[in-house]
Structure formats: C-alpha cells, structure tokens
Amino acid sequence: MKNIEVSKIIDPITATDGAGVKLKRSIGVEPNYFDPFLMLDEFGSENKDDYLAGFPPHPHRGIETVTYMLAGDFKHKDSTGGQGIMSAGDVQWMKTGSGIIHSEMPAMKEGRLHGFQLWINMPASKKMNKPEYHYIDASKMGIYKDEDKFVKVIAGKFEKIEGPINKHNLEPIYFDVELEKDKEFNLKLPITHNSFIYLIDGEIKIGKQKHDKAKNSKLILLTKGEKLSVLCQLKSKFLLISGKPIHEKIARGGPFVMNTKAEVLQAIEDYHNGTFVK
C-alpha cells in the first residue's frame, strides 16, 4: 500500500471578499486549482468590523460551494427559495449548476465568527444542471470519537460512520479531525483522489518522509497514495478533504467557472440580461 506524503506546505494569503470580509485564502492562489478544488477560504475574527458587511447577493454557475461553520451565525438566502441560519457545526452544500444567486450575511452583531468555504468544480456534463441546495444541521452529522481523536464526517466514511453527503459523482471526503498530542490518525484513501489537509491549529507530522514544520493555518497538499498517517505533535485540529479529479479544462470568470471563455461570457450576459436563473 503506497504511503501518502507531503507534496507542499503553503501559507494562506490574507484577502477580502464579499463586501469586505477579511479571510485567509489558500487554494485559488497557490495552487490556483487543485482538481477538483477551486478555492478554499478560512474566514474568522473576533472583530465585528471584519465580517459585518458579509456577502451580499451574488451569482454562481458551474461550481459547488461548501460552507462549514465553526463559530457564529450566518444567514443564507438564495434564488431557489432556500434560506436559513447557519450556526456552529452546520454545513451548507450547494450545487450551483446552471445558476444561482445567493447571499450569506452575519446573523450576529458581535462575537467570534469562524468558518470555511470550499469551491468544488463540476464536470461539463453537470454544469448546467438544475441547482441543488443541501443544508446539514450539526446534530445530523456523523461523529466518531475515542480517547485519541474526534472525527466529524461531512462526506465520505470513517470506520463505520458515514457522512450525510454521499452518492456524489466526485466521491468527496470531508472530515473535521481533532487529535490529541502524540496520537495518530490513520486512513485509507482512494489512490485516484487529490487530497489535502488544512491545519487549523496545532502541529502535525504526515507520512514517513521528513517535511517542513506544519503548524497553525497551513494548507498541506498531499501526494497520491492510499495510506495516510498523521502524527499529532501538539493537540491539533485540521480538515482532511479529498476528491476525484475531473481532468477537464476550466475557464474562470469571478463567480463563474466553466470549460471555455465563451461559456463564461454567456454566464455574464445571462446575469446582466435577467435570464441567469432558469
């Protein structure tokens, strides 16, 4: 069984998005695309001025957006009629398909806001499908717990615990892992998948080969393989995310990710002439 090792360790950059929300961006900068993952943002602050402006109504086409809340409350509303308040531990998994207009605004005026947004590419055959909105309450999440670790399973399967996102064409894995000091997390991954770890806090050692220190707010790209071993050097919390590559050309245009520039220009035209939402 082939060991999974560290390919690259990357410091996220500080950025802003929406109406000025401060965040740390990793995928979407370096690397620009880690097939099938298009973007990964960590947003979080104790300062209300960093997040109160939120993400007012904006369009998407051709991607999936996955928002995972760790602290605070966000109000979601979209053109499919989906709406609700996301709280700590909740997940919003949205397949934008042919087009969706949505907003994500803080449902709080002070306190800590912390969460992640991941963009996943859609294959050409599904980019113009009808949009789908899935809201996953924290109480319905798959949880594995023992003396060494706590694993929240959003997508995929750990031991006998299966996440609420299943039967997905890219066979995604999305775990939130908390690992005690000097303990180990082991998992068999599909050798076909591209995988990464986002270290939220703590310090970890991955695989058998030596690598640079991985400590706090790091994107860790992994080599393809089957056997993943993570040793915790300090009590740590990290996201493990993996998915089957699509192997198609992409064309980006802000919130639109299609296969050709012409398709991106069509999305822009549809948005401006009022025919974007089918």
User: Contact, 71 vs 107, CB < 8 A?
Assistant: no
- Does the pLDDT of residue 196 top 70, yes or no? yes
Q: 121 Cβ partners below 8 Å, 6+ apart?
A: 33, 35, 36, 37, 38, 62, 63, 64, 246, 248, 250, 257
- Does the pLDDT of residue 158 top 80, yes or no? yes
| pLDDT at site 19 | 66
Give the DSSP H or E segment for 268.
helix 261-273
Give the DSSP H or E segment for 99.
none
Residue whose tokens read 């000025």: 20
Q: What is the mean pLDDT of the segment spanning 159-166?
A: 93
Least confident segment among 5-14, 17-26, 58-67: 17-26
Q: What is the mean pLDDT of the segment spanning 207-216?
A: 93
| Half-sphere exposure at residue 171, Cβ-oriented, CA atoms within 13 angstroms | 10
User: Contact, 62 vs 246, CB < 8 A?
Assistant: no
Least confident segment among 106-115, 231-240, 249-258: 106-115
Q: Checking phi first, is residue 177 left (phi over 0); if not, alpha (psi -120 to 50) or beta? A: beta
Q: Where are the domains of the chain?
A: 6-273
| pLDDT at site 83 | 84
- Percent of the chain at pLDDT exceeding 70: 100
| pLDDT at site 82 | 81
Q: 167 Cβ partners below 8 Å, 6+ apart?
A: none
pLDDT level of residue 109 (50, 70, 90 thresholds): confident
Least confident segment among 27-31, 78-82, 165-169, 250-254: 78-82
Neighbour tally for 224: CB within 10 Å? 16
Q: What is the mean pLDDT of the segment spanning 166-178?
A: 96
Q: What is the mean pLDDT of the segment spanning 156-170?
A: 94
User: Contact, 70 vs 99, CB < 8 A?
Assistant: no
pLDDT level of residue 176 (50, 70, 90 thresholds): very high
Q: 154 Cβ partners below 8 Å, 6+ apart?
A: 66, 68, 91, 136, 141, 142, 163, 164, 165, 174, 175, 176
| pLDDT at site 269 | 96
- Does the pLDDT of residue 150 top 90, yes or no? yes
Of 129, 118, 128, give the one whose Cα is nearest residue 155: 118
Domain 6-273 classification at class level: mainly beta
Cα–Cα distance, 175 to 4 (Å, whole number): 17
Give residue-wise pLDDT tens across range 32-85.
999 999 999 999 888 878 888 888 889 999 999 999 999 999 898 889 888 889
- Does the pLDDT of residue 207 top 90, yes or no? yes
Q: What is the mean pLDDT of the segment spanning 169-190?
A: 97
Here the tokens at position 104 are 């994500």
Cα–Cα distance, 149 to 182 (Å, whole number): 11
Query: How are beta strands 132-136 and 91-95 bridged, if at all?
Result: antiparallel
Here the tokens at position 5 are 């090792």
